[in-house]
Structure 1
Amino acid sequence: MKTFSILFAALATITLAFTGPVETVTVDTDASVITWKGYKVLGSHTGTIKVNTGNLQMEDGQLVGGSFTIDMNTINCTDLQGEYKGKLEGHLKSADFFGVEKYPTATFKITNVVSRGTPGAYKISGNLTIKETTKAIRFNANIGEENGKQIATGDIQIDRSDFDIRYGSGSFFDNLGDNTIYDEFDLSVRLVLN
């Protein structure tokens, strides 16, 4: 039994010797952006939202963890102008949708990272919290270099009904017709790393 304990300790020491320290890399929040796209029967709308804080954990050049916070007050519509732009942004910020006065931030925390077999390509699992509801999500992400900066990107589809955002949803209301707003919306995340 003593021999087994010594062998186990030796293996643990060797494993640790080949594992580098985990480095926390912060996100440049001024340069990072999340682009959203929401869909309805008669078309779609697009816009942006800003990252409030964020970091990624890297070990030996590989992604191993991280998290970021989204500033829900920065919801911006980019496909409308003037009065209609203001109305849509105000409605998205209202209690009908994201209720930003009560819930000013949303968060995402990575729980698992798996390499997809090529450098910088990962399958990410994590917990997304919107309006105090937390759901597990999965998506593919990439980390690469652009103009001397490391950039992390990922495309995510979210079902808003999972977060109790039901306004105009055909899943909860009948006879909406052309006023139906689809439950799924897309997020395209672009994080510039410091």
Structure 2
Amino acid sequence: MNTPAHLLLGAAVFGRPAESRIVAAAFAGALMPDLSLYVMAGISLFLLGIPPQVVFNDLYFSDSWQTVFAIDNSFVVWGLLCAVAVWSRAPWAIALTGAALLHLCLDFPLHHDDGRPHFWPLSWWVFESPVSYWDRGHGAAWIAPVEAFLATVAAIVLWRRRVPVWAIGLTIVLVLGEFWIVRQWLFFFVDS
């Protein structure tokens, strides 16, 4: 699933009550499992000048990058953190960890050949789904519109909940980003 959709869905599900601290924690939690990819790819592409083909075909699948992805995409790690958040009765921590777990639950069935070891440190096993959120050769032509629809519903939920003004602005940016990304996947990327 695309990151803007993760943020919108995470905030819609876990951004209650509609207070700045809770909504911000839900947005942050929904971003956390993808954050390392953005940081590592951004540094590689823009600071180190490594070509995109090397970043996404070689570095992405390297042991070092996969180790980082294993940690920040682990059901075990986020599940333990969520248990601590629930035990401590900290609403912002529940929103953060709950949104991160929702992110993982949505990613798990939507990665064909680029999945993560979601059960680290118990296992390095990676589920290879028959479908992909981005690869038209594995169903993205029908998954992407469903994802965009769900992201739009989440945005409407946030708007109706009367979240803070900054969150409405972020929601608008994320919906526009989601539709731009879906357009790219469906019309410009060739089947692999």
- TM-score per shorter chain, which class? under 0.3
Structure with higher RCO (Cα < 8 A, 6+ apart)? 2
Return the structure number with greater helix share: 2
* TM-score, normalising length: structure 1: 0.28
Return the structure number with greater strand share: 1
Rg larger for: 1
* TM-score, normalising length: structure 2: 0.28
